[in-house]
Structure 1
Amino acid sequence: MSPAPAAPRTVLLTGAAGGVGSFLRASLPAEYGYDLRLFDQAPIEGEPEAITAPLSDTAALRKAAEGVDAIVHLAGISVEAPFADILGANIEGTYNLYKAARAAGVRRVVFASSNHAVGFTERPEGAPESGATVPVETRLRPDTYYGLSKCFGENLASLYADKHGIETVSIRIGSCFAKPRTVRMLDTWLSPADCHRLIHASITAELPAHSHGHHVVYGISANTRAWWSLDSAREIGFEPQDDSEVFAAEVIAELGELTPEDPEYRYFGGAFTQQQV
């Protein structure tokens, strides 16, 4: 294992105005005492010191990264979009982020990847009842240009680990909301509380030697219906406390059960697998 980073004081949080960023702005300082430096292209109400700039502003990114102990990179487009938009925000933007991290001497990045990087991965036969789960080592199978951008980010993280010694934990986030909004989210839900637990573990943990400086995990809670493996996340000390099953009766009563033929049931990426590219 690589040595654990020193207890971080200041963390750069990109995409701080978004949904997950908003959860973390509240919980990381309160739960763990982090000082957050906030970055987003959208202004953040009540945060006058936040840096408002796009990821294409390399000078702003470099200034934002100076003196921080770690970076949590959430910024970018979080849904499918035209390739030109994905290219600028998610691909070139993530490249700019890593250049800024290297220039500032930042040694740990937490990258918000996505289940859509492996979106065409199919549910194991009989899961979840069979107990079969899909490990993070499954091959990349993006379902959209958005998913493709997350494959790029994971591979860029691996390159920067090998070339420049910057360690990254890539979190293939499922569905991070206050509660599941669809039947599929009963499988993929990451509670806000488990999200900050996973981010904290990703910032502070020693990475296993087999990761070679780039460790990939699935970002979900301890869901009864999950069929993504949490083994890799538990390797870095993540112990999820929440389970979507407490919402299952309500969600299913409203929306009905999924059928095995439904992409929302069959594939990691759900309906994203049906989008045109």
Structure 2
Amino acid sequence: MPAPRTILLTGAAGGLGTLMRGLLPAYGYELRLFDVTPIEGEPTAITADLADREALREAVRGVDAIIHLAGISLESSFDKILRANIEGTYNLYEAARAEGVGRIVFASSNHAVGYTPSPEGELPLDSGALIPIDTPRRPDTYYGLSKCFGEDLAQLYWDKFGQETVSVRIGSCFMEPTSVRMLSVWMSPGDGARLFHAALTAEDVRHTVVYGSSANTRLWWDLTSARALGYEPQDDSEQYAEKLIAEQGELDPADPAQSHLGGPFLTDPPIWPY
């Protein structure tokens, strides 16, 4: 498909959205911003809830593609997850379908497979030990469950309407990792922008699911499907390993929060305000 130019970025006021607002324009994109929270310094940003179908329809009109980051990014009550992440994502897809937007990049999460045990072995792990993209989904929270729904919705909209999606199971996208576990799932902001750009411009993606991380020495999952889009990660969390291990120690395989992909979401999930 031709390189899209005008991109609707939902969740633009959030942590990842803020990082991408600063990085994606360098790839030639004009961003249309959408969030339930007003964005300081962005007077043209659309301030609306995902439940507002009329506002969503207006927001998607005329854009070339969508990066959908909006919703609750932590655990919460099922009712709140249902409204924001499940019904909200459906509303977004319906608006995009009605306006003929052919490509969506959906922010899925490693928490869709959070109960999957992490690989074991010597570092760096060989390709046979890495968790494949087709590993069975095992959500660790209502939040993770909502990401499973989003992936299935994307598949339905490809099969039924021909609307393409790249679902990105994002690990942790911060300026630098903050835990030993995060050394395995970290995606640098620069690599995040590279992956989103690849997802926006690759040909014939239909519905493609990829893991979103940098090329970490301690990588847990297989990036083959992401690389097939043209993604070439350039960063590695290993530069932070010595300091984090000295402060926190090595991962404990007896602790479910350290031995599964979902980390603390299995035992003590961070809670979005009820």
1:264 CA displacement: 3.4
Amino acid at match of 1:65: V
Further displaced range: 235-244 or 199-208: 199-208
Give the distance between the partners of 2:220 and 2:6, measured in 1 at CA.
Answer: 35
**Alpha-carbon distance change, 129 to 28 in structure 1, aligned in 2, over 3 angstroms:** closer
Further displaced range: 159-168 or 127-136: 127-136
1:75 is the counterpart of 2:70: yes
Give the distance between the partners of 1:152 and 1:187, measured in 2 at CA.
Answer: 25
Q: Is the 8 A contact 2:118 2:261 kept in 1?
A: yes
Q: Could you give the per-residue CA deviations for residues 96-151 of structure 1, whole angstroms, max 9, x where no partner exists?
A: 00000001100000000000000011123426544210111001110000000000
Give the distance between the partners of 1:125 and 1:255, measured in 2 at CA.
Answer: 19
**Alpha-carbon distance change, 64 to 127 in structure 1, aligned in 2, over 3 angstroms:** farther
Q: Could you give the per-residue CA deviations for residues 12-34 of structure 1, whole angstroms, max 9, x where no partner exists?
A: 000000011011101111x2110
1:120 is the counterpart of 2:115: yes
1:252 CA displacement: 1.4
Q: Is the 8 A contact 1:38 1:50 kept in 2?
A: yes
Q: Is the 8 A contact 1:157 1:168 kept in 2?
A: yes
Q: Could you give the per-residue CA deviations for residues 151-210 of structure 1, whole angstroms, max 9, x where no partner exists?
A: 0000000000000110000000000000001111100100000000000000000135xx
Give the distance between the partners of 1:187 and 1:111, measured in 2 at CA.
Answer: 22
Q: Is the 8 A contact 2:257 2:267 kept in 1?
A: no
| Of 151, 154, 158, the match for 2:155 | 158
Match of 2:29 in 1: 34
**Alpha-carbon distance change, 231 to 58 in structure 1, aligned in 2, over 3 angstroms:** same
| Of 260, 263, 271, the match for 1:267 | 260
Give the distance between the partners of 2:208 and 2:88, measured in 1 at CA.
Answer: 21
Give the distance between the partners of 2:197 and 2:121, measured in 1 at CA.
Answer: 33
Give the distance between the partners of 1:118 and 1:128, measured in 2 at CA.
Answer: 22
Match of 2:15 in 1: 19
Give the distance between the partners of 2:268 and 2:156, measured in 1 at CA.
Answer: 30
Match of 2:176 in 1: 179
Amino acid at match of 2:102: R
Q: Is the 8 A contact 1:207 1:236 kept in 2?
A: no
**Alpha-carbon distance change, 128 to 214 in structure 1, aligned in 2, over 3 angstroms:** farther
Q: Is the 8 A contact 2:69 2:106 kept in 1?
A: yes
Further displaced range: 265-274 or 97-106: 265-274
Q: TM-score, normalised by structure 2?
A: 0.95
Matched residues, percent identical? 65
Q: Is the 8 A contact 1:189 1:221 kept in 2?
A: yes
1:238 is the counterpart of 2:235: no
Give the distance between the partners of 2:109 and 2:259, measured in 1 at CA.
Answer: 17
* Structure 1 runs not aligned, ≥5 long: none
Give the distance between the partners of 1:220 and 1:130, measured in 2 at CA.
Answer: 15
Give the distance between the partners of 2:82 and 2:148, measured in 1 at CA.
Answer: 12
SS in 2 for 1:261: coil
| Of 39, 56, 68, the match for 2:51 | 56
1:167 is the counterpart of 2:164: yes
**Alpha-carbon distance change, 71 to 127 in structure 1, aligned in 2, over 3 angstroms:** farther
* Structure 2 runs not aligned, ≥5 long: none
Give the distance between the partners of 1:52 and 1:65, measured in 2 at CA.
Answer: 13
Q: TM-score, normalised by structure 1?
A: 0.94
